Amino acid sequence: MSYDLIVLGGGPAGYLAAERAGHAGLKTAVVEERSLGGVCLNEGCIPTKTLLYSAKLYDGARHGEKYGVKAEGLSIDHAAVVRRKNKVVRLLTAGVKSQLKAVSADVFSARGSILGRDTEGFLVAAGEERLSGRRLLIATGSSAAIVPIPGVREGLESGFVLTNREILDLQTAPERLCVIGGGVIGLELASYFSSIGTQVSVIEMLDHIAGETDGELAALLQAELVKKGVRFELSARVTGLEPGTVTYEKDGEKQSLSCDRVLLSIGRRPNTEGIGLEALGVALSGRAVATDERMRTNVPGVWAAGDVNGKVMLAHTAYREAEVAVNDMLGIEDSMRYDAIPSVIYTNPELSSVGLTEQEAQKQGIDYKLVKLPMNYAGRYRAENEDGRGIMKLVTDPAGRILGGQALANYSSEFIVALGSFIGMGMTAAQVQKVIFPHPTVSEIIREAVFQCE
């Protein structure tokens, strides 16, 4: 069968590209070996958000007295939470399937790999089928990184060690969970499991959690999680795993902790192996497919979008990259910008960030101004957060142009996009002062902040 476009991978980059391309009239095939929706829909963004929402309701009810709410005989049923998660995933994957059908894209449920070229363009195997395509989009995503620490492989085989994939299907919550890696996945799942009563310990190699995000807000988030009972071992190096035990080194001393399960969340690796990239000579940058700002690879007619290009491994980046790639295929001028991509850690409270942090501005030697405000300046935040200690930071250049912003507060995931667009449009604090925010909303903290910029 021959196509205008063959998409390898049916995650956010792949399915959205196929939708956009199909809509534009390109005859498109999507090859997906697991389930449409990829990691995001099946074992990442969406499943974790359904779990975290249940935890938030439970936390709210448990601490309701502060708000005049009394609940008795309260409990949370993890298996029921997982069942609901599966329902949400089913509904959304069915939605993706019908969107692809609506644009007449063909979906092949098989592992795809590039075989080489043919007279039409590129030859791809989708299981037993042979597809021919004038263009190719590589959107094969990423997989959990597996460290070569003694005991990890055996642990993964026995089920003692889990990645984001397996942990989301546990029917029974572990009594004690050890999370290796205090990044986004580790923190979100630590937040969920600690809320539902699991004793959670996080072992992180660095001296801080939450990666590159603002250090002050990360430390505050850590304090919030500690209040919920999460234990952190920072600057700690895991040296080995044995059934029921994790051994690590900290301050030059060997230590160990006992747990029922281990979550391995130490980052992700682009899926570039075993998909035939070498048949076309597609160039890599490290383990990722090298792409330019139009998502082109070094091979004309081949684009790559999403985690596989290793740039910013977030579903919303993948969506935009997919659109840029398809626009480029259609001859529509477009290019990818990476300077205003919001990122959110959906813990309770959420930590949201976009653009430069104070620390990055310092590191880059950029002359900057900082406004830092307690979230309590926003009336709705105060109304809904008894003892809320959230903070918002706004980074501008000396002329007031917005460079970045971060907030530790629930709903910040919903308003960080505003800051991202102000950055994208090159707006100054003075210009944002004229924007009307709905009142009362947590987002009004941005309005407060821009009025503090001189």
Q: Going by DSSP bridges, is the β-strand pair 112-117/106-109 parallel, antiparallel, or unpaired?
A: unpaired
Q: Which among 63, 208, 316, 439 is annotated as catalytic?
A: 439
Residue corresponding to tokens 């791809």: 124
Smallest gap from Cβ 232 to ligand NAI, in A, equals 11
Decide whether 213 or 385 has the Cβ nearer to ligand NAI.
213
Centroid of chain to Cα 142:
12
Smallest gap from Cβ 217 to ligand NAI, in A, equals 15
Buried b (16+ CB within 10 A) or exposed e, 179-199: bbbbbbbbbbbbbbbbbbebb
Both tokens of 75, joined, read: 């409990």
Decide whether 318 or 423 has the Cβ nearer to ligand NAI.
318
* Active-site residue, 78 included: no
Comparing C-alpha atoms, which of 9, 2, 59, 62 is closest to residue 28?
2
Smallest gap from Cβ 346 to ligand NAI, in A, equals 5
Contacts of range 125-132, beta carbons closer than 8 Å, 24 or more positions apart? 125/276, 126/29, 126/31, 129/1, 130/1, 131/1, 131/2, 131/3, 131/6, 131/29, 131/31, 132/1, 132/2, 132/3
Smallest gap from Cβ 170 to ligand NAI, in A, equals 17
Centroid of chain to Cα 337:
18
Decide whether 264 or 429 has the Cβ nearer to ligand NAI.
264
Decide: 22 and 28 in contact? Cβ < 8 Å: yes
Decide whether 44 or 174 has the Cβ nearer to ligand NAI.
44
Both tokens of 256, joined, read: 């160990």
Binding interface with ligand NAI (CB under 6 A): 44, 147, 180-186, 188, 203-206, 211, 238, 265-268, 313-314, 343-346
Q: Which amino acid makes up residue 14?
A: G
CB within 8 Å of 48: residues ≥ 6 apart: 164, 168, 185, 188, 189, 192, 346
Smallest gap from Cβ 144 to ligand NAI, in A, equals 7
Smallest gap from Cβ 100 to ligand NAI, in A, equals 24
Smallest gap from Cβ 157 to ligand NAI, in A, equals 19
Helix orientation angle between 315-329 and 12-23, rounded to the nearest 10 degrees: 30
Q: How many helices (H) and strands (E) does the chain have?
A: 15, 24
CB within 8 Å of 323: residues ≥ 6 apart: 16, 17, 20, 334
Smallest gap from Cβ 184 to ligand NAI, in A, equals 4
Q: For ligand NAI, which residue has the nearest CB?
A: 183
Helix orientation angle between 12-23 and 78-102, rounded to the nearest 10 degrees: 30
Burial of residue 203, with CB atoms counted within 10 A of its CB: 0-12 exposed, 13-18 middle, 19 or more buried: buried
Kindly state the helix (H) or strand (E) to which residue 53 belongs, with its residue range.
helix 45-62
Decide whether 27 or 311 has the Cβ nearer to ligand NAI.
311
Residue 341 is given by DSSP the state: -
Smallest gap from Cβ 10 to ligand NAI, in A, equals 18
Decide whether 5 or 314 has the Cβ nearer to ligand NAI.
314
Comparing C-alpha atoms, which of 389, 51, 351 is closest to residue 198?
51
Both tokens of 272, joined, read: 């570039």
Burial of residue 136, with CB atoms counted within 10 A of its CB: 0-12 exposed, 13-18 middle, 19 or more buried: buried
Decide whether 48 or 443 has the Cβ nearer to ligand NAI.
48
Decide whether 123 or 266 has the Cβ nearer to ligand NAI.
266
Decide whether 29 or 409 has the Cβ nearer to ligand NAI.
409
Active-site residues, by number, are 439
